[in-house]
Amino acid sequence: MTLGREKICFLNAPTPLERLHNLSEELGVNFYLKRDDLTNFGTGGNKLRKLEYLVKDAQNQGATMLLTVGGAQTNHGRLTAAAAAKYSMRSAIVAVDPYPGEISANLLLDGIMGCSVYLVKPQEGRPDEELQAEAVKQVTEEWEAKGEKVYFIPTGGSNELGSLGYYDCAVELAAQVRSLGLKDTRVITTVGSMGTYMGLQVGIKNEKLPLRLTGIGILPFKEGIVNAAEAYYDRIRQFFDLDLNITAEEYDLISDYDCGGYNNPVEEVRKAIYLMGRKEGIILDPCYTGKTFAGILKMIETGRIEKGEDIVMIHTGGVPGIYTKHHRIEMERELEDFIHIVSL
């Protein structure tokens, strides 16, 4: 139980903390990877930590169906579908996205796990948030008319309750770092819907853990990334009645490496993915972890990460994103020279 809240313990925790020897030598830092991509069902990923709390809350409310939102290729949606299947619940995803022309990557996995996906075509002059809310209402009413009790989970599972998953991860990681004898360790994570970052931040601050946290934004934040963090923490503080003050200066959040958009194909990001694959045999994705690793490489190059520094990157999963059409065709073009046709 964390901050008075129960969860279902379905993770194979603690997830491994691995030193990446080849990259450490090449980059001149002590590079560790927290392998949350290896969580144990739905092909793994960070959202399962949040879902331990969210599914428990859904069960407590007597829900029979999980409904969430995101993009057509949402990783969180995939893992919500997996958790629903594991606990004998229905699942559905609402996405304000056009049909991508094929059922691949996460969309394919959603179908395998029996998740209904509702794609809403964007409309000029109507905000996506408005379309999403209208579709969620319609889908909820449709399923409740059939006798289901629907539990709604926001984008990324990133609400107050979901953040506790990474509060727990902060405690888990601090113990692993301590066992390795590391000191003054910098933890670096992707920042999208911000639940992972905020859970880590609150856990580190509230438990007084010996970790420094850096978040790398992978999409533009209209209101500013620090402002978004302050607003999120204010909701957490009130929800859990925390007597903990976090000032704006304590948020080490970087918005320089979002590459101008969300889930956009970027050559620099693909090069980072290839480097990780060729040096360590570990696969990153082009939307989240690949962009984060590309940011880390820039930080090392510019001195924002110092030589010899101990760093831990959170691998949040998301590997199915490689198979989405707009990323896959770019990689196929760049990697075709690795295919050799042999005639005998």
Question: Which pLDDT score is estimated for 164?
Answer: 98
> What tens-digit pLDDT sequence spans the chain (344 residues)?
999 999 999 999 999 999 999 999 999 999 999 999 999 999 999 999 999 999 999 999 999 999 999 999 999 999 999 999 999 999 999 999 999 999 999 999 999 999 999 999 999 999 999 999 999 999 999 999 999 999 999 999 999 999 999 999 999 999 999 999 998 999 999 999 999 999 999 999 999 999 999 999 999 999 899 999 999 999 999 999 999 999 999 999 999 999 999 999 999 999 999 999 999 999 999 999 999 999 999 999 999 999 999 999 999 999 999 999 999 999 999 999 999 999 99
**Domain extents in the chain:** 17-45+159-336, 47-157
Q: Supply the CATH classification number for the domain 47-157.
A: 3.40.50.1100
Question: Which pLDDT score is estimated for 342?
Answer: 97
The model's pTM: 0.97
Question: Which pLDDT score is estimated for 173?
Answer: 98
Structure tokens at 14: 């603690």
The yes/no answer on whether domain 17-45+159-336 falls in CATH 3.30.2130.10 is no
Task: For 199, list phi and psi in degrees, rounded to 5.
Answer: -60, -45
